[in-house]
Amino acid sequence: MSHGQMAQAALGSAELIMGKLDNVKAIGLNPDQGPEDLQKEAEEFLDQGTDKETVVAVDVLGGTPSNVVIRLFAKYPNIQVISGINLPLIIEFANQSMMGQGLNKPQLIAMAKDGIVDVNARLK
């Protein structure tokens, strides 16, 4: 979940690398929408879910998408939330899913953090 089309663009990039990701949805908050619109779309997806944990990645903690997810905890207590969407996080999530592993949330967060690199410093 993100402000604007960030989530959709990140998912599209991940699928370009990994192939189609099943049971994944990107939801973005557009300027003409409010929190209730975002929550409705998230609930529609979550209501189709399986018995597995659902991972929800949001763009930034404290923004509308993360606030909506926090409200969803009451109805969906098994959701796992991570703030800070980036491509390494999505690719690691896809790898964990494709390998049939259970959710390794610390590894997702580590991959997201490790994906941020000062390339100039590495080249020196």
**pLDDT tens for residues 15-29?**
999 999 988 999 999
For the chain, list residues with pLDDT below 50. none
What is the predicted pLDDT for the residue at 46?
92
Q: Quote the tokens at residue 79.
A: 């959701």
Reported pTM: 0.89
What is the predicted pLDDT for the residue at 21?
92
Q: What angle do CA 99, 15, 101 make, to 5 degrees?
A: 15
> CA-CA distance, 12 to 114, in Å (whole number)?
21
Whether 99 is catalytic is no
pLDDT digits (tens, 9 = 90+) for 84-103: 999 999 999 999 988 888 88
Q: Which of 3, 82, 107, 109 is catalytic?
A: 3
What is the predicted pLDDT for the residue at 50?
58
